[in-house]
A and B are shown apart, each in its own frame.
Chain A
Amino acid sequence: MSWTEPILHVDMDSFFVEVERLRDPELKGRPVAVGGKGPRGVIASASYEARRLGVHSAQPSATALRLCPELEIVAPEHGRYREMSLTVFEVFRSFTPLVEGLSLDEAFLDVRGLRLHFDSTIDVAREIRQQIRSHLGLPASVGVASNKLLAKLASQEAKPDGVHHVPRSDELGFLHRLPADALWGVGPATLAGLERLGVESVGDIGAIPAAALAKALGPTLGHHLHELANARDERPVEPDGEAKSISVEETYDSDLTGVDVIETAMLSHAQKLSWRLHRAGLAAKTVTLKARYDDFTTITRSQTLSGGIDGAHDLFKVATSLLTQLDLRRPVRLLGLGATSLHPSDRPRQLDLGHDRAWDSLEDAIAEVKERFGEGSVAPARLVGRDADRAPGRRSSKSS
């Protein structure tokens, strides 16, 4: 398979609805929408069961209920969607740093860097879908193409819950049969103008000479549409700025119980997180602990320090102090440790009173060994035999 289509557009299917379904499994398999329930309420997201009956986003809730009287409308909880979105993007970034978010539930990914790890970009798309499905329980559709325009159109084609690949050889074939307003920049007014030229499909736009299009729509829009209609889109995937956080989390096959077990798991996280910070040359001023109990309630606790840290020993110390704010008698199904407020690690660092310089030297030595022999080459005694990557109880792990 070729690597000539390295751009992915990942679009979560009915994102808000699916997040609500995770919270309340009763909503599965039924027509459901997230939106306002009042007389002026509007649908924000509709399940595919509801869409089949004509319900769609931006529709007044009253209309939706007329079309589909058994429709269950759930009030939106944007905090929940934002939180889930962060996790989804963490999955994206575990594949490539080249992630450009468009909204909470869609992003472009440039995955050309994964050439050595996957046979094709379609396999990358499948793996991303698989990970989002198995870690988060959410469906996503992915478009795979040579540029952003085609990838985005392809993901619409892939919906629901699929992958659509537009090969280099069939770009125009795919594009030209789409309706004209599938292109960016074609709103109702432009569409009306195009219809006067007898345009219905993208192919019709492609057939109009560039000069004629420029005359009809103005030079800027004319040129823009001419390029798009010929499947030309040079815009690169622009990542959303520098890494704002680095985190490690893991969902366990069997719930963790007891302070000892949870602390050991946290030590493993601290090791991994420290290594990632070290590789990125960053230190963190804020450390965040995340835990999900067996009933799916999720708690995050964070601590901001006066100086940045990147050593596993320091991260573990903060993590254990944050653990004291948790109810460790309850079984825990997920544990995460994250670093934010990142800055270059060579900046001056405020030491704390418990600071033991011996740890610094030790961690420098460990980092050196890991650089040469790999991340798994050294581990604290407490983790030996547990080997993070083969431990029983492990279900999935990811990082970003």
Chain B
Amino acid sequence: MRIRAQRDDLADVLTRANRAVGTRTALPVLQGLLCEVSGTTLRVTGTDLDVTVRTQLEVEVMDEGRAVIPGKYLSEAVRKMPPGQVTIGVTDTDIEIEGNGPRFTLRPLTVDDFPTLEDVVADGVEVDGEDLADAINQVTIAASGDGARPILTGVLFETSDDGLRMVATDSYRLAKRDLPGVGLEGSGLVPARGLRELPRTIGAPKVSAQLREREAVFTSDRGSLRLRLIDGNFPKYQSLLPESYPNQVILDREELLEALGRVTLVAEDHIPVKLKLIEGGVEVAVSRQDVGAETEHLAGDYSGADDEVSIAFNPRYLQDGVSALSGDKVRIQVIDSYKPSVIDDGTDGDFLYLLMPVRV
């Protein structure tokens, strides 16, 4: 194979496909990017078997063919070339990358070792790319990064007549986002790690999505992202959502975020932030034996069955939830200091964040 294209275009398709290439891979060949050239198209595939990114670019083709080239070196080498045209070609033994003087030669990996991936059948459902990216950012914050509990590292995609619902939980908090009107079919547990890559790899105004038996497939005019579904049963989250909350406070979202910024200065290391919901707003307090303390009052509307109610949270978890909201207001609904609270924008909208307190 031998092709020529603009450095920036090449760097873009290589870098995006390389995001699927893991640093620790089971098979050496997975360190590589599969580059396939036919007609006038270069198609680049990177995969760690769970996450697969495929990008493509119209290029000037001198020779068709295919090669597997170490992904990190290839994408970095192209990026570091001088601006202008860059040629990538295969010789008998090496890969050559050249343009305007510099020339890299890289050792290829064995093409036949690269896993065979069936082509994507493009019959997904069209979704607004920006909505999807927002939803992904909102729910994946609650997914667990703990590989020992694989089910919690996934985002549940559930579909109904109303649309798509995405849910993630690490067992301490839960994020739920509805995308009404998205007529996806089926359900599945999609790895959060791969989902987070969607905006950066194939993000576009229009994204097509489909849930297949073993994978979730997203395509756009920038390429495709395929995520292998996680096996297992997601916790029955419905039963975790309390039916009603006797107490609630509505605060200015920016003010709360700023206050939490001050809190986290003191509250490293899982020191909880204490909230006391009272008439006129919330008393925020954090203290740490070896550092000191911070307290403040935030004005807000409190309404509740109790005169006041106190609750403590992991400040980072609280911050995550408040940041994930989009409106000007934040509503915190509390039952008591041992039961989950709900954080939302106060409109019973599409997003909610359920957070378990810290027992102090």
Contact = CB atoms under 8 A, between A and B. Distances in A.
Interface in A342-376: 348-355, 357
A321 B144 CA distance: 15
A351 B270 contact: no
B312 A348 contact: yes
Interface stretch (B73-81, B99-107, B350-358): B350-358
B171 A352 contact: yes
A352 B172 contact: yes
Contact of B149 (A321, A349, A351): A321
A349 B356 CA distance: 10
Interface size class of B (residues with CB under 8 A): 20 to 34
B271 A348 contact: yes
Contacts of B270: 306-307, 348, 350
B163 to A, nearest CB: 24
Interface string B17-60: 00000000000000000000000000000000000000000000
Interface residues of A, number: 18
A270 to B, nearest CB: 18
Contact of B359 (A303, A321, A349): A349
Contacts of A353: 169, 171-174, 235, 240, 340, 354, 356
Nearest to B148: A303
A303 B356 contact: no
A302 B148 contact: yes
A304 interface: yes
B314 A351 contact: no
A355 B173 CA distance: 12
Interface in B302-318: 312, 314
B356 A357 contact: no
B358 A307 contact: yes
B358 A348 contact: yes
A301 interface: yes
B148 A350 contact: no
A380 B149 CA distance: 27
A350 B338 contact: no
B148 A348 contact: no
B71 interface: no
Interface in B170-210: 170-174
B348 interface: no
Given A303-B148, A306-B172, A321-B149, A351 B338 contact: yes
B121 interface: no
Interface in A282-329: 301-304, 306-307, 321-322, 325
Contact of A351 (B174, B271, B358): B358
Contacts of B124: none
Given A350-B172, A353-B173, 6 more contacts: A302-B148, A306-B270, A325-B148, A348-B271, A348-B359, A354-B235
Interface of B: 146, 148-149, 169-174, 235, 240, 270-272, 312, 314, 338-340, 354, 356-360
- List the 8 closest A-B pairs by CB distance, nearest first: A351-B356, A348-B360, A352-B171, A349-B359, A348-B272, A348-B358, A303-B148, A357-B338
